[in-house]
Structure 1
Amino acid sequence: MYNWIRVLFSLLLSTDTVATHLPCRIRQPVLELSIYTLLRMAFIWQLVSLAIYLVGTLAIGAFLYDNFKSLISIIKALLEPYFQPQLPQSLLDKFGKWAVITGATDGIGKEYARELARQGLNLVLISRTKEKLIAVTNEIESEHKVKTKWIAVDFAKGREAYDQIERELAGIEVGILVNNVGRMYDYPETLELVPEDTIWDILTINIGAVTMLTRKIVPQMKSARRGAIVNIGSGSELQPMPNMAVYSATKKYVTFFTQALEQELAEFNVTVQLVMPMFVITKMNEYSNSVMRGGFLIPTARSFARSAVFTLGKTSMTTGFWTHGLQYFFMKLAPLHLRMLIGHQLTRRLRLEGLSQKKIT
């Protein structure tokens, strides 16, 4: 019994050692058996190594594709005029004369409107406050020779807002729709401390507006076989965001909705673009002095909008601004759970800033 234990142990060492512990009449079969076992183990290890290599290669390839397809699409679009000069080049030529922008009196929405007007598009500005709409309309008309129209509606009121918009847009062929309107918490906060009215507004505006207004305008774009729908999402969709749970969840909805709609409308030559900004200096972030100071990673609304409009018609998904693209790339290197923990630490700090601001006011 002891000798056989020694033999089995020697299999793990070398075939030469096996031979020294066996009688001559059984040495050759055992040697053959050990070589067969070693070859089989080597073959299995090669298969495992190959499987790991393939999975790793596919994972890296998918990651790189996901992060660089937007850049590649932009480069492709910039080179197209040299190879296909007959294609329409301006946004007006590609999509039509009129652009509709929601949430158009502040921040990103206002700057989108100014940038589109600079490129020659007529505008329909939609927002809640009549006085602000008139002021922005006058400002844009004084800067650019375009037609403008404004519609004062409160998206928080739900269905009645879209009936009014539909009536006001009658006779206007919409070439570009920018679904920018959105609602955030007054500052990051735990769910039970957020007012119910605020939560209802976030759900109604962030999900309802992008869905229902798109539904109203899509039929004419499909009929014209051209048009662009731009949905302004958020980098907060990259992971669940504690203390901004409802907001980040609604922005994940915007991501999935936009990507699905892109496939639905591709055959009708209608462009659908998802824009996912990180922090931008806007009224939405006024609760945080650190965000409102701006910096390398936090652009002004005007800088962001100019960059984001430049990508329209060139890529279906973008962060809109190059430093935001860098942030997105490095964040996605981390596992989801780690991103969520980092996000939680960030919103805790921003919550304290918001509470501090609230006490001051």
Structure 2
Amino acid sequence: MDVMELFFVWLGAAVVVFYVIKIVSFVKMFYSGVLFLQPASFFTSMGEWAVVTGGSDGIGRAYSFELAGRGLNIVILSRTKDKLDQVALEIGQTTGQKVKVIVADFTEDDEYEQIQEELKGLNIGVLVNNVGILPSHIPSKFLQIRNLTQVRHSWSTFRPVLPPSPVHTPHVGKGVIVNISSGVACVPSPMYTMYCASKVFVERFSQGLQAEYKEKGIVIQTVAPFGVSTPMTGYLKPNLVTMTAEDFVRTSLKYLKAGDKTYGSICHTIMGWILQSVPLQIIHSERMQDCLREYVNKRVGS
């Protein structure tokens, strides 16, 4: 067998292994209830409190309600006190759990010491880093974004609230940290350039942190959704691939033990695989960018 034949044999073997791994991952998603079984006390065994940043709307709000429904007291953080107070009231009335409100602007560096002070003394077992900014509901080229200062803020909003979270006290040997990324970060995504880049940072940060603290029994996972109907996406109408925030959060929590990154649902996993299979020349073409803008504009406006 000559060198070229050997090369193609190994290439073919690598392709087969790659797709076998993909198929196994897909099957695991279908059988999450068996393979990644969580006892009813899973979250409460981590601690008494869950901290959710960006907890007044969308995915953060849905995580707050879901975790409270599973027996945790909740700390919710965002910039708007009125929204936070309303969500806190609804969580308390619905679940009977305690809710602590912290007003915080994550684009300001001096907020973090104050947040840490507010969290002192709480037995925190779960942290959801969800806060983020999408500069425009409609996909736009970088220099076409009306308020470029928001783009700068999209970098700074992911500075995770760590102390005194589970990773800050690794001797405890338990805890969950969920960092919200985005499905668009799986490939370089024009029209969402800065947002995509900031979410890639989220993923790499989480994966490195999980490698550092996995042996301590701490679960650190990136969740990368595609379409979810939230204020950030202009309340896209739910369909087969666009989920409500509540449905997405409920589904994504099933996969906490499925690895250091998931797309949070079967349909979003399939979308990620499809997007990664498309040649970048197509994704980056002007025609595709125009089609994306027209599609989102139509859906947001409908």
Q: TM-score, normalised by structure 1?
A: 0.75
Match status 1:164 vs 2:114: yes
Report what 1:202 is aligned to.
Answer: 154
Deviation at 1:338, TM superposition (A): 3.2
CA offsets, 1:304-325, max 9 Å, x none?
A: 1111122224443211122111
Correspondence 1:13-28 to 2 at 5 A: none
Deviation at 1:123, TM superposition (A): 0.7
2:101 alignment partner, SS class: strand
**Structure 2 stretches lacking a partner, 5+ long:** none
Relative distance call for 1:71 and 1:204 in structure 2 (3 A) is farther
Q: Residues of 1 paired with 2:225 and 2:289: CA distance?
A: 18
1:155 alignment partner, SS class: coil
Report what 1:34 is aligned to.
Answer: none
Q: Residues of 1 paired with 2:275 and 2:190: CA distance?
A: 17
CA offsets, 1:47-83, max 9 Å, x none?
A: 53332122222233235425744753884772577xx
- Residue 144 of structure 2 is aligned with which of 193, 200, 215? 193
Match status 1:248 vs 2:196: yes
1:278 alignment partner, SS class: coil
Correspondence 1:26-175 to 2 at 5 A: 43-44=1-2, 47-65=3-21, 68-69=24-25, 72=28, 75=31, 78-79=34-35, 90-157=41-108, 159-175=109-125
How many residue pairs get aligned? The number is 298
* Structure 1 range deviating more: 274-283 or 335-344: 335-344
Report what 1:311 is aligned to.
Answer: 255
CA offsets, 1:67-120, max 9 Å, x none?
A: 744753884772577xxxxx9653225422211001001111101111111111
1:183 alignment partner, SS class: coil
CA offsets, 1:193-247, max 9 Å, x none?
A: 3223211211111x3x23xx13653553413111111011001101122121111
Report what 1:344 is aligned to.
Answer: 289
Residue identity matched to 1:60: V
Deviation at 1:352, TM superposition (A): 5.0
Percent of aligned positions that are identical: 29
* Residues 184, 196 of structure 2: 8 Å contact kept: yes
2:56 alignment partner, SS class: coil
Q: Residues of 2 paired with 1:279 and 1:214: CA distance?
A: 27
Relative distance call for 1:292 and 1:199 in structure 2 (3 A) is same
Name the larger-Rg structure: 1
Q: Residues of 2 paired with 1:203 and 1:278: CA distance?
A: 19
Q: TM-score, normalised by structure 2?
A: 0.88
Residue identity matched to 1:252: V
Relative distance call for 1:298 and 1:225 in structure 2 (3 A) is same
Superposed CA RMSD? 2.6
Report what 2:271 is aligned to.
Answer: 327
Residue identity matched to 1:197: T
* Residues 239, 340 of structure 1: 8 Å contact kept: no
Q: Residues of 2 paired with 1:189 and 1:80: CA distance?
A: 39
- Residue 281 of structure 1 is aligned with which of 192, 210, 229? 229
**Could you say which structure has the higher helix fraction?**
1
**Structure 1 stretches lacking a partner, 5+ long:** 1-42, 82-86
* Residues 262, 271 of structure 1: 8 Å contact kept: yes
